[in-house]
Structure 1
Amino acid sequence: MPSPEDLSPLLPTMTEWRRDLHRHPELGFQEHRTAAFVAASLRGFGIEVAEGLAGTGVVGTLRGRPGNRAISLRADMDALAMTEATGLPYASEAPGRMHACGHDGHTAMLLGAARWLAANRERFAGTVHLVFQPAEESLGGARVMAEQGLFARFPVDAIYGLHNLPGLPLGTIAVPKGAVLASSDTWEVTFRGAGTHGAKPHLGTDATLAAAAFITALQAIASREVDPLGTAVVSVGHIAAGDPAAPNVIPATVFLKGTARALAEDVRTHVETRIAEIARGIAALHRLQAEPRYIRRLSPTVNHPAQAAVMVRAAQASAGAANARDDHPPITAGEDFSEFLARIPGAYAWLGTGAPAHPEGWHHNPHFDFNDAALIHGAAFWCSLVETELA
């Protein structure tokens, strides 16, 4: 099986690719330059290329020896709407946009693996579809690709995803059993009462008081209604009420918006139901109206057992048994790779990138930067996975 040492000659090239992508970040469904770079690179390796799925998605098809099986490897390409603060020589040149989650590294790693695999086709039997996905960050690029016929055009037996994880030792591959990431949903509640003068609260119905009670009551969902061995998170992220120029007025309307997370679908459904029930119950208690709304966005990302086991074997082969883990706990962030796993068996793994270079350099932080030393570890893992699946 290929090891990081086998791919080490590619590290300078992959680093160059990654830093070029980092300098030119593009938001979801706007990854035109990135997609063109990916497509041109794949063609240069002698790989068949399809463009335009979900607008900016790219799929490279790589065929090895004759074989009946096919798999997909996925990398996301989009950046975040953030202003970079790293001060690095290759920092973002696009105001208000940066690769703050490492998708530049994911793209470079999969390109590196594609180049190595294209030069070593005799080492596997079957077909590998390299999926370069747009718009992972909240816009549902995976769903759009699937709905536009990704798996009809490129049928596969399994699909795999890999994401960098700062804090995990460099080169470690962690493949969680079962749940990897949580659902990610948005909820809204509007409380409507009757506004009045702040000195005469008895003449109105105070939507602010109801909202305050609602915020407190929400926390009982996770702490008292979900199994302590399960997971649920309900957070308030936005409150809008009144006018700061009129603090002596009790507003008639309060609007709240937040996020809800769960690792299991039954817990997710319970959270959705209870947010609405609590909102309406508190509204009735305070003699006003509540208008709850729950928006399902991303389902939990849950690994399929057989494919997770394949990832572990591939990790052991490329990284060594000491650097392959199957016990990593779930994380309550969300991932639209769940859209693929709802349709095709597959699994998702973490690639350790070591401690961040900056103390604040975690995902979605303006000081984040992908550790280029991890590129050969990720690319070698991809190559090992292909040989493991398509032996």
Structure 2
Amino acid sequence: MPALPEIEAGTAELETIFRDLHAHPEIGFEETRTAGIVAEKLREFGFDDVHEGVAKTGVVGILHGRGQGNRRVGLRADMDALPIQETSGLDYASQNPGRMHACGHDGHTTMLLGAAKYLAASRNFDGTAVFIFQPAEEGLGGARGMIAEGLFQRFPVDEVYGMHNQPTGQPNRATICKGTAMAGASFFDITVTGKGSHAAMPQQSRDALVTASALVGQFQTILGRNMPALDSAVLSVTQIHAGSAYNVVPETAQIAGTIRFFKPEVRDLMQRRMREICAGFATGFDVSVDVEFREIFDVLDNDPALSDEWLAAAADIVGQDNVSNRSQPFTGSEDFADMLQVIPGAYGNLGHAGTVPLHNPGFVLDSAILPVGASIYARLIERRLPLEAA
């Protein structure tokens, strides 16, 4: 079956919620409208408790099943959008300039709301379901913020699950990678300070832009000449800023970017070599080079046994032929990893039509997966908190 019948029957409502969220995207820690809609819906569905303002804009809903069991299972969805100008051409495209749900978090939120409505009506489980609507997944530390505010002390769970859409062109294909599944990430900011001059007399300068440009190329040698051959990593310079005039050699230049890794020791190696290269260039070019690293995402590790449970719930909905545990580790990052550092759980992917990649201004989430994802979330609760027959 493509979805639980009760959830399938509510597809039109899910579509309405999704389109509204898509048209009104909000970036991290600014999801006030989105959080308000989530909290209103949970109360409308009859949730036992709804808590707002967790890590500024996070929402947590508590739902008790018909049984009296003590086990508690968490389900998590992210709510934030990206600072991207949408070019999808959808009739429900973003109405907020420079803001877009280019990663499908509007769909994730809608799917979890679909599961919430179904489970609130049936309560066909024994124990407590904890619904976590997280802000600021896109590199701003929403998961860490919720954890720091006592998420799992205030709302304890025994295990926690998440899900991400994947524009693979394979609708309803559910996949998971057991163990190490997604990369950790550091962001870096590097400032080169030299001496400015007239562009016609560059010999009077210590050119920060030339130094910065050379650093960009030199960093790539770390992967080819310092990284063990069997380890995987990514180093991407994504920003370089310098200068403000045609006839001025700039005094400063800024470089920014990210490194991705699957082992902390690989991260440490990359950061050490970047610092050493910067120190060498500072001496060689007679400039100063300041380096700052920020740890943004942990490595995401799926519990192997709970990965099987996620797949079993998905198989109940999409069929055994449409699930796979052979997904390969992915160099993208996801801050659900922070929750998995505290609570065991699993994070899977659900394929849908369309192949425009995530974080692209033309990305379109296929809304046909909304009842499918909602049903997988619901089945996770029913399977992990089974209600004993009377």
1:30 aligns with 2:30: yes
Deviates more, 1:189-198 or 1:80-89: 189-198
Q: 1:93 aligns with which of 92, 95, 100?
A: 95
C-alpha displacement at 1:253, in angstroms? Answer: 3.2
TM normalised by structure 1 equals 0.91
Structure 2 match to 1:303:
302
Structure 1 match to 2:313:
314
Aligned-partner Cα distance in 2 for 1:83–1:197: 37
* Aligned partner letter, 2:87: A
C-alpha displacement at 1:290, in angstroms? Answer: 2.1
Q: Secondary structure at the match of 2:138?
A: coil
| 8 Å Cα contact 1:276/1:293 also seen in 2 | no
Deviates more, 1:192-201 or 1:164-173: 192-201
Structure 1 match to 2:332:
333
**Kindly tell me: are residues 229 and 316 of structure 1, through their superposed partners in 2, closer, same or farther at Cα, counting changes over 3 Å?**
farther
| 8 Å Cα contact 1:168/1:351 also seen in 2 | no
Aligned-partner Cα distance in 2 for 1:260–1:231: 11
Structure 1 match to 2:134:
133
Aligned-partner Cα distance in 1 for 2:205–2:97: 47
| 8 Å Cα contact 1:362/1:368 also seen in 2 | yes
Q: 2:111 aligns with which of 90, 109, 112?
A: 109
Structure 2 match to 1:390:
385
* Aligned partner letter, 1:218: F
**Kindly tell me: are residues 83 and 290 of structure 1, through their superposed partners in 2, closer, same or farther at Cα, counting changes over 3 Å?**
closer
Q: Secondary structure at the match of 1:383?
A: helix
C-alpha displacement at 1:337, in angstroms? Answer: 1.1
| 8 Å Cα contact 1:188/1:293 also seen in 2 | yes
Aligned-partner Cα distance in 1 for 2:85–2:198: 42
Deviates more, 1:101-110 or 1:186-195: 186-195
Aligned-partner Cα distance in 2 for 1:228–1:381: 38
Structure 1 match to 2:158:
157
Structure 2 match to 1:246:
247
**Kindly tell me: are residues 93 and 199 of structure 1, through their superposed partners in 2, closer, same or farther at Cα, counting changes over 3 Å?**
closer
How many percent identity over aligned positions? Answer: 43
Structure 1 match to 2:147:
146
Q: 1:375 aligns with which of 343, 358, 370?
A: 370
Q: Secondary structure at the match of 2:130?
A: strand
Structure 2 match to 1:216:
217
Aligned-partner Cα distance in 2 for 1:209–1:97: 34
| 8 Å Cα contact 2:354/2:366 also seen in 1 | no
C-alpha displacement at 1:119, in angstroms? Answer: 2.1
Structure 1 match to 2:292:
293
Aligned-partner Cα distance in 1 for 2:169–2:339: 25
C-alpha displacement at 1:306, in angstroms? Answer: 2.5
Aligned-partner Cα distance in 2 for 1:46–1:30: 26
Aligned counterparts, 1:258-269, within 5 A: 258-269=257-268
Q: Secondary structure at the match of 1:41?
A: helix
1:55 aligns with 2:88: no
**Kindly tell me: are residues 208 and 40 of structure 1, through their superposed partners in 2, closer, same or farther at Cα, counting changes over 3 Å?**
closer
Structure 2 match to 1:271:
270
Q: Secondary structure at the match of 2:312?
A: helix
**Kindly tell me: are residues 279 and 371 of structure 1, through their superposed partners in 2, closer, same or farther at Cα, counting changes over 3 Å?**
same
Aligned counterparts, 1:171-186, within 5 A: 171-186=172-187
Q: Considering only aligned residues, what root-mean-square deviation do their CA atoms show, in Å?
A: 2.0
**Kindly tell me: are residues 282 and 50 of structure 1, through their superposed partners in 2, closer, same or farther at Cα, counting changes over 3 Å?**
same
1:189 aligns with 2:184: no
Q: Which runs of 5+ in 2 are unaligned?
A: none
* Aligned partner letter, 1:171: N
C-alpha displacement at 1:352, in angstroms? Answer: 0.6
Q: Secondary structure at the match of 1:333?
A: coil
**Kindly tell me: are residues 318 and 194 of structure 1, through their superposed partners in 2, closer, same or farther at Cα, counting changes over 3 Å?**
same
| 8 Å Cα contact 2:71/2:385 also seen in 1 | yes
Structure 2 match to 1:346:
345
* Aligned partner letter, 1:278: I
Aligned-partner Cα distance in 1 for 2:38–2:82: 19
Deviates more, 1:326-335 or 1:61-70: 326-335
Q: 1:356-390, CA deviations, whole angstroms, 9 ceiling, x for partnerless residues?
A: 4xxxx321222222211111210111112112221
Structure 1 match to 2:46:
46
C-alpha displacement at 1:255, in angstroms? Answer: 2.4
**Kindly tell me: are residues 204 and 97 of structure 1, through their superposed partners in 2, closer, same or farther at Cα, counting changes over 3 Å?**
closer
Q: Secondary structure at the match of 2:282?
A: helix
Q: Secondary structure at the match of 1:119?
A: helix
| 8 Å Cα contact 2:198/2:247 also seen in 1 | no
TM normalised by structure 2 equals 0.92
Aligned-partner Cα distance in 2 for 1:41–1:200: 66
* Aligned partner letter, 1:76: D
Structure 1 match to 2:227:
226
C-alpha displacement at 1:174, in angstroms? Answer: 0.9
C-alpha displacement at 1:216, in angstroms? Answer: 1.9
Deviates more, 1:102-111 or 1:363-372: 363-372
Aligned-partner Cα distance in 1 for 2:148–2:284: 44
Aligned-partner Cα distance in 2 for 1:84–1:95: 8
Aligned-partner Cα distance in 2 for 1:110–1:17: 11
Count of residue pairs brought into register by the alignment: 383
| 8 Å Cα contact 2:14/2:110 also seen in 1 | yes
C-alpha displacement at 1:167, in angstroms? Answer: 1.0
